[in-house]
Structure 1
C-alpha cells in the first residue's frame, strides 16, 4: 500500500518497525525511536513529517536501524546516545552503556557535602563524573580509564555538558597515573565474574567492551585494588562510592572494612537490589 498522506506514511512505517521488532520488550517505542532517528527529528517531531520526508533514502536508513536492532544491537548504540541522570551522553561500542541502576550512585553521592575534587576510576563515557560536576559547579574532577577511545567519548561528553574546563581525562591503569588527593572517589568498575559472563544477554555481551564488564575470576579484584590504593588518594574524611553486582554487597563491604575504611554502607537500587557500597576514609 502506498501512503497518500503523511499520517498514512507514519502509520505504515511504524507498523513495519513493530513487526520487525516483535520479539523485543517494547517494539512500539523502539520503532518510534529508530524512525525518529532516521528522519532526524525527536519522537514528537514524527507527527510533523511531510509525505516527502518518507523518502526512499530515509526508509532505507530506518530499515537498516531495524535490522541492527533485530540482530540484538541495543537501541542506545544505534542512536549513539543514552539519557542518564539529567543529561544526554554519547555512547559507542567503546564504552559501557550507562544503566539506570548507576543513578543510585549519583543519588548517594549527592547526599553528602559537596567535594572540591572528584576522581572517577574507569570513567568510560564519563557519565558518573560529568553528572556530578554538573551538580556541583565548584568542583573539579579527574576521569581515568585504560581505554583512550573511551576517554575520547568522555571528552566529547564533557564538552557537551559544558564542564570540560573542570574535567581532566587521563589514561591510567587504576591509580597508576593519579596524582594528588581527592575528597571523593567514584567508580563503576568491571565486576562480572568469569562464570557469570556466559549468562549475560547478547545485547550486553556483544556490544559493551569486555574490559568494562569483567576483570575475570570472582569479579572482585577491582574492589581490592581500589580499596588498597584509595587511602593514598583520599583526603581525611573523604568518601568513596563504588557500584557493585547485586550479589556482591557483603564481600565488597568487607574488602573496604578490612582496608581500614569506616561508615561502610550498602545501598540498594530502585529494584531493591544491592547496587552501591559507600565508605569513608580516616
Structure 2
C-alpha cells in the first residue's frame, strides 16, 4: 500500500505540473485528472491508517523539464501503469477497482492528447501582456517560488491532520483550508509557468505535517497567514505601477487570508472548549 500511495502522490504532482505546462484545452483535463489522483492518494492514505500501516509523504524527485508536452504525458502514462500493477496488493478490492478504472480511462485520454510546445522552463520571467519593471519581476519571481512550495506544504499538512482526525468540526475547517490552498497553488503555479519558472515543490519534511501540538500549530499558522497578507500587500504595491490587473489579484489573495485566520481562530476556540470540557 505504501508504494502505491507514493507512486500516486508522484503521479498527482506530475499531472498537476503538466496542467501548468499546457496552454490549450488540455490544461483543464490535466487539472481534473490531477484532482482525481489526489483523491486516490487520500483514499489510499485512509486505507493505510485503517490497516495501521506507518507511512510518510516522502517521495522521489519528479523530473518535469521537457520541451514537448507529449514527453510529460508519456511519463504520466508510465506512472499510471506502475500504479495499476501495484494495486494488486491492495486489500480493498472495491478501492482497487475504482482506481484501476479511473487509470484506464485517464491513460486512454492522455495517449490521444494533442501535443504542445512547452515554454514553462524558458526562464524569461516575463508575464504575458504585461511589462514589469526589474524590481517588480524580481518580487513576483521570489513570491511565486516561495508561495508555490508553501501552498503545497499546507495541502499536505492539512490533509495529514484531517486524515488523522475524527473531529467533524475540525475536519470541515481542514477541508476548507485544503481547497483554498489548492486554488492558490494552481494560481501561482500557472503564473510561474507563464513566466517560464515552473518548478516542482520540494518534499515536505515529516516534522512539519506530523503535528504533535495542534493548538501551537494553529497559533503559528495565524502568524504565518498574517505574514502572507503582508507579502501579498507588498507584491501588490510592487506591481501596481505596471499592472492594475496583477495588483488587484494579489489584493484578492490578501483578503482571502482573512478567512483563513478566522477559521484558525475558530479552531483554537474549539480546542479550548474541548479542553475545558
TM range (shorter): under 0.3
Query: Higher relative contact order at CA 8 Å, sep ≥6: structure 1 or structure 2?
Result: 2
Please state which structure has a larger fraction of its residues in strand. 1
TM-score, length-scaled by structure 2? 0.25
Q: Structure 1-normalised TM-score?
A: 0.25
Q: Which structure features the higher share of helix residues?
A: 2
Which of these two proteins has the greater Rg computed from alpha carbons?
1
